[in-house]
Structure 1
Amino acid sequence: MKNLDFVLAPSAGHAVAVPDDAQLSEVIDIFRANAQLRLLAVLDAAGRPVGIIREQRVRELLFCPYWFSLMQNPTIGGSIAMMIEPCLTAGVDESTADLLRIVSRAAGHEGLVLVRDGRFVETLDSGQLARLAMLREVELAHERAARASRVDDAGRRFQQDVAAWTASLSDMAREAETVAHALSDRARQTGLDAVSVAGATAQTLAGLHELGDRGHALAAAMARIVDDGRLARAARHEAHRTIVEAGDRAAALQAASQAIEHMLALIIDMAGRTNMLALNAGIEAARAGDAGRGFAVVASEVKQLAGQTRSAASDITQYVDRIRDVIGQVTEGFREVEKAIDANNGFSDAIEQAVDGQSATTLTIASYVEQAVAAGREIDMRAHGISHGASAVGADAESLGQLSSGLTKLAEALHQRAGRFVDAVAAA
């Protein structure tokens, strides 16, 4: 039995026992010899307890008026069977708490028999059990005191840990609150920037719309210019053809004037010859006298006619020369006009090609402007989305700041509550 030696040492007779065939007189002698003995174990032949005999029963028997007569009766006086009572048994190695638990569960028993491997070791009476219970209470008190000391130490360490944790928690909460305020300010600034971007985007969209409209108008004007250029090119080609034809006609007139000039030269030559013939005829008529007078008149008329023809031919030659000069100038002018028209055609073709290219470029620019307008709308939508998101982030940041502030207050309350808890545990 653990922790019982110093408790049971002052008592005697704990290990005293009698066999189950012992005489009552032996039992009385044992109780008389052991004044502190309250229970006497009864063992079988193998040393196993079969019951107990209480000192109180023996005392009652001794104080009975008929005790002497009973003792003289050989049937009753020599047997202890009527004195044996059932007993509680427990292992000698059981703990004090287990022994007390066994006794508390079995009501009506005043003692306990301790055994080892089923064999008797010693007995514990009610007084010894009471002393054992008292010892157990002392042990429990020591254990509670030690536990209270450990709880107090743990509480102090817990308070220190909680203080450190709450301090760290408060610091983190303050940092979170600072970050939340900074985040709120940044979100507010981001919202303002997004509003500014949205305003600038709206102005840009208006400018892009106007630019797109003007681009389309310019493209339409370019298209009209291209159409007018085609008509002008057709007119230029027609004028060129007309000038070429007029040049050809002027060249034909110049050739005809040259032919007329040759004819006039021939007429002048013929008039000169006729004049010579008329002169010769007049000479011959003068030689003929009166016979040739009529011929002389004819010759004179022919001479006058030849002179007139020659004079008229000379005048015509001057006019033909002038006409030829004019026709030459006209022909040269037609050639210059033709060259100018050719050059104009080249310039017009280049201009038309440039206008065609500019028209395509204008259409491309208009397309890009439309794409830019679409992108501007997207940017405007995104800017408004950023503004709304920034507002939401700002609200969340403010909520985070409030939560951080509440967390700081909770940390302080936790620190105070932990202190009160440790004080209460220490006071208990």
Structure 2
Amino acid sequence: MKKITWLLPLVVVTIYVHAQKKEDRKTIGNLQLHINYLSSDKLEGRSTGAPGEQLAAAYIAAQMQQNGLTPMGEDGFLQTFTIKETREPAATCHMTINEDKLLAGKQFLPLPFSAEKPAKGEAMPGVNEPDNIWLINVAEIDTDSQKSMLQLYLQQTQIAEKSGASGVVFYNGKETIAEVLKWLEQHPTPTGIPAVWVSNDVSKKLNAEDAGSFQVNIQIAFKAIKRSGTNVIGYINNKAPRTIIIGAHYDYRGWETTSKAEDNASGTAALLEIARLLNNSRLHNNNYIIVAFSGKEQGLSGSKYFAAHSTVNLSQVNYMINMDGIGQLNPGTALQIGGTGTSPGWAAILQQATTKELPLVYDSSGIYNSDHASFYKKNIPVLYFSTSTATSENKINYDGTLNVLKLVYNIIDKTNDKDKLAFTGITN
């Protein structure tokens, strides 16, 4: 996780495990059920916008309903938001060289400024004729300028267009397909001719020593792609004047690094259990918004969207608590509690909320960038909880996770009879 620049106080908590009560055993059993499902192969890492994320959202919504929460999304428990809008080659987009059909997205890609039109001709490397397709060797382009490669491709295309070229094909580029696909998120002004980038295997054919002329046929067409994520939002309405937001992100990055991604199944599981406990509690002086955020791995897009399109009045929010990867609190490891400088009341509340099993040691340090940041920017006091991130279900320390959950619950308990917390901005 990447650190943000605010210097917020950090609290380190040492955990000691003691005998469990019956309610604790029930809570741990529920945590295991939630984490086993959310980290299962079926969900494929819960990447935002992917089918696994939708399965996770449905599961979380069902658990919120079972726990008696009121739907507080824009579609029941669900709140959908757009992460980004990009493009990809449409089904009608094609390219052939000497009647060999190239695979769009693997062997060739149109550049983002390409005209959506056809071009064909008998082209030869190094021979640039009017009314014909130009084959441009990227290795021969002067790259000494301050321009990016995309800007250089655009510049070369504009030069070719002014010289009468009907289209351009760039070969010997060092970019990967993934990098060129990323360029399609941009929407520059189109040129008047098709512009295509080809992969390394196609470049080798065009760059062969015995290469002659090539029959090239191009048809460029784009398809707009909108990638969306889904927050899951439940509400406990105590008809109180203030509301507490409790959140955790449930998305991960898919199968990039692990085959059984836990991050942040532990925080999401704890979120569901805190919701269950609060809905059956005597703590009625605050309302509770329970939010499972998606899009954390895409620039906090889910929490940013919720903070900008909240289904509750943010001016009435008392504070926000964020749990981000709390599943690996082993004996001797530390629990990070960030954000204690966002309200002058936090220090005393944390002291009241701790027990002999949870002694606090204060430190001065930074805080990782996570979903609480979206609420800090709205002048709302925040607390952030995190441990080392477990990468699979069998690495979860359930006793440690339970202790973090109980600490969060104790904080909510100790603020039940207090006035609305004052907000303090943090300066570098």
- TM class by shorter chain equals under 0.3
TM-score normalised by the chain length of structure 1: 0.20
**Greater helix fraction, Structure 1 or Structure 2:** 1
TM-score normalised by the chain length of structure 2: 0.20
Higher Rg: 1
Name which structure has the greater RCO, CA cutoff 8 Å, separation 6+: 2
